[in-house]
Amino acid sequence: MLDEDADKISSAFGVEGMDAFRLMRAIGAAYETDGVVSVLQFARRLAGTRTIRAADIRAACEPIPRFRLALSRHAAS
pLDDT in tens, 16-36: 999 999 999 999 999 999 999
Task: Please state, in angstroms and rounded to a whole number, the distance separating the CA atoms of residues 49 and 61.
Answer: 19
Tell me the domain boundaries of the chain.
Answer: 3-76
Nearest residue to 58 via CA among 19, 31, 32: 19
pLDDT score for 11: 97
Look at the pTM and tell me if it is higher than 0.85: yes
pLDDT in tens, 58-72: 999 999 988 988 888
Instruction: Give the SS3 label for residue 15.
Output: strand
> Which is more confidently placed, 58 or 74?
58
